[in-house]
């Protein structure tokens, strides 16, 4: 394939220049390559639960196939799944959506992407609290919007405050993206913190809110999860509440995400989807109906396992000189600081200049794959996903310690 044709026109679309490959998937790929080449690499980069999809959900998929539910469905979700989503929103979030306010896509990522592509005009601003999930800024830029990054500092558990939010709002602000519990930090907004953000938002009726609640069910120590439209019903009309089955039900490969929001947005997203992916897999949709309507009994034991791992990883990391790690409220990530190790020298004589050098050092020296904080808009940190076995995590932390102790 040629990079340009005879008229010197580039082959690839210039719009691709606005984005870069997902850094988290890049780390996972690099770790997999090293593994395939025979290296004993431990990958702590992936953002998916290591638990299998529960059997009742798999059975629902088999049954759907046997019943012949193997054809195209309505573009943005089957009536049965939309009904199950409405029931979920009402039962768990106290939000009353009708089925024409619901959209279903191929994962939460697809739903967020469609929502931004369907609503952003050039120069519209989107407020993204950092540390952020890697895809938000790129999705915004791909849709010709402008990301406005607002830093959440470690001193405030990586969360933004009401005054931080208010300072970032301009007449061009279209969306605020909230993600609680957060990828990459695991931090979650308390009902009181959401209340204070809601009070600011009430003053600016032109700002819409995209609430990415995908880690809603992965919370610990009795944390009370709330979503913003529940906290302030006056914001319901301008909130797009996004969720999915990937994280809570260990269904990352099934590719089902959904959202509830203004009819106008839902309709526009449906049109976009009708000209791109069409419906998400009919079988995955049937399985998701069971995920939402069926037993939720496995969520608690899964969280008990995650909590045990979180506690172990936080403890082991804090025992390493130069590393400092907060204990987050949810998700399956920790976001430790490696600032204490910047400027140190590796045994091979190179200097760790930043978090990217540090992550590269861990991959090469400790054979542990983590993601550098700068990928999430936070220099001096790194993300560890602890969605893997206790034994692997213990080994990984021991290797990280050994590698850090070698820095001089």
Ligand X SMILES: Cc1ncc(COP(=O)(O)O)c(C=O)c1O
Verify binding: residue 212, ligand X, rule CB under 6 A. Answer: yes
Q: Which is nearer to ligand X, 218 or 270 (CB)?
A: 218
Number of residues that bind ligand X (CB under 6 A): 13
Rounded to a whole number of angstroms, the minimum distance from the CB of residue 117 to ligand X is 15
Using CB atoms within 10 A of its CB, is residue 37 exposed (0-12), middle (13-18) or buried (19+)?
exposed
Q: Which residues, 55 to 84, sit near ligand X by CB under 6 A? A: none
Verify binding: residue 257, ligand X, rule CB under 6 A. Answer: yes
Verify binding: residue 196, ligand X, rule CB under 6 A. Answer: no
Verify binding: residue 252, ligand X, rule CB under 6 A. Answer: yes
Question: In what helix (H) or strand (E) does residue 268 lie, and over which residues does it extend?
Answer: helix 263-274
Rounded to a whole number of angstroms, the minimum distance from the CB of residue 224 to ligand X is 20
Stretch that binds ligand X, among 10-18, 85-93, 104-112, 389-397 (CB under 6 A): 104-112
Verify binding: residue 183, ligand X, rule CB under 6 A. Answer: yes
φ, ψ for residue 244, nearest 5 deg: -175, 175
Residue 394 in 3-state DSSP? helix
88 near 260, Cβ under 8 Å? no
Neighbour-count burial for 316-353, b at 16+ CB within 10 Å, e otherwise: bbeebebbebbebbbbbbbbbbbbbbbebebeeeeebe
Q: Which is nearer to ligand X, 282 or 385 (CB)?
A: 385
- State which of residues 133, 189, 332, 386 lies at the interface with ligand X (CB under 6 A): 133
Verify binding: residue 109, ligand X, rule CB under 6 A. Answer: yes
- Give dist(CA 334, CA 323) in Å, integer: 12
Stretch that binds ligand X, among 56-64, 107-115, 284-292, 349-357 (CB under 6 A): 107-115
Q: Which residue is nearest to ligand X (CB)?
A: 107
CB neighbourhood size of 127 (10 A): 24
Residue 399 in 3-state DSSP? helix
75 near 105, Cβ under 8 Å? no
Radius of gyration of the chain from its Cα atoms, rounded to whole angstroms: 22
In the stretch 40-59, what mask flags binding to ligand X with x, by CB under 6 A?
-------x------------
- Give dist(CA 313, CA 327) in Å, integer: 9
Binding residues for ligand X, per CB under 6 A?
47, 107-109, 133, 179, 183, 212, 214, 244, 246, 252, 257
């Amino acid at each position: 394939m040629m990079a340009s044709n005879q008229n010197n026109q580039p082959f690839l679309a210039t719009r691709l220049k606005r984005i870069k490959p997902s850094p988290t998937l890049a780390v996972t790929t690099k770790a997999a390559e090293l593994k395939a080449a025979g290296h004993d690499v431990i990958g702590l980069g992936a953002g998916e639960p290591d638990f299998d999809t529960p059997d009742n959900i798999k059975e629902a998929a088999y049954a759907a196939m046997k019943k012949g539910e193997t054809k195209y469905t309505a573009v943005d979700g089957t009536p049965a799944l939309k009904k199950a989503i409405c029931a979920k929103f009402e039962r768990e979030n106290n939000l009353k959506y009708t089925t024409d306010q619901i959209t279903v896509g191929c994962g939460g990522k697809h739903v967020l992407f469609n929502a931004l592509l369907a609503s952003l005009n050039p120069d519209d601003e989107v407020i993204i609290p950092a540390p952020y999930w890697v895809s938000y800024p790129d999705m915004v830029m791909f849709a010709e919007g402008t990301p406005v990054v607002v830093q959440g500092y470690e001193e405030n558990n990586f969360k933004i405050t009401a005054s931080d939010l208010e300072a970032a709002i301009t007449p061009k602000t279209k969306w605020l993206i909230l993600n609680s519990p957060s990828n990459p930090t695991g931090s979650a907004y308390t009902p009181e913190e959401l209340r204070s953000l809601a009070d600011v938002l009430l003053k600016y009726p032109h700002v819409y809110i995209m609430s990415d609640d995908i880690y809603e069910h992965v919370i610990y120590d009795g944390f009370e999860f709330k979503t913003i439209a529940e906290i302030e019903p006056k914001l319901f009309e301008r909130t797009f509440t996004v969720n999915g089955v990937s994280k809570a039900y260990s269904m990352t490969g099934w590719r089902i995400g959904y959202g509830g929001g203004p009819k106008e947005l839902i309709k526009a997203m449906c049109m976009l989807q009708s000209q791109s992916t069409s419906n998400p897999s009919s079988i995955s949709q049937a399985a998701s109906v069971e995920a939402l309507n069926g037993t939720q009994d496995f969520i608690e034991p899964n969280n008990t396992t995650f909590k045990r791992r979180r506690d172990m990883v936080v403890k082991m990391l804090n025992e390493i000189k130069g590393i400092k790690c907060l204990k987050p409220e949810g998700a399956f990530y920790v976001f430790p600081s490696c600032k204490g190790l910047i400027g140190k020298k590796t045994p091979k004589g190179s200097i760790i200049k930043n978090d990217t050098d540090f992550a590269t050092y861990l991959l090469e020296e400790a054979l542990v794959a983590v993601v550098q904080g700068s990928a999430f808009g936070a220099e001096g940190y790194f993300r560890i996903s602890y969605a893997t076995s206790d034994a692997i995590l213990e080994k990984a932390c021991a290797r990280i310690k050994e590698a850090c102790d070698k820095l001089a």
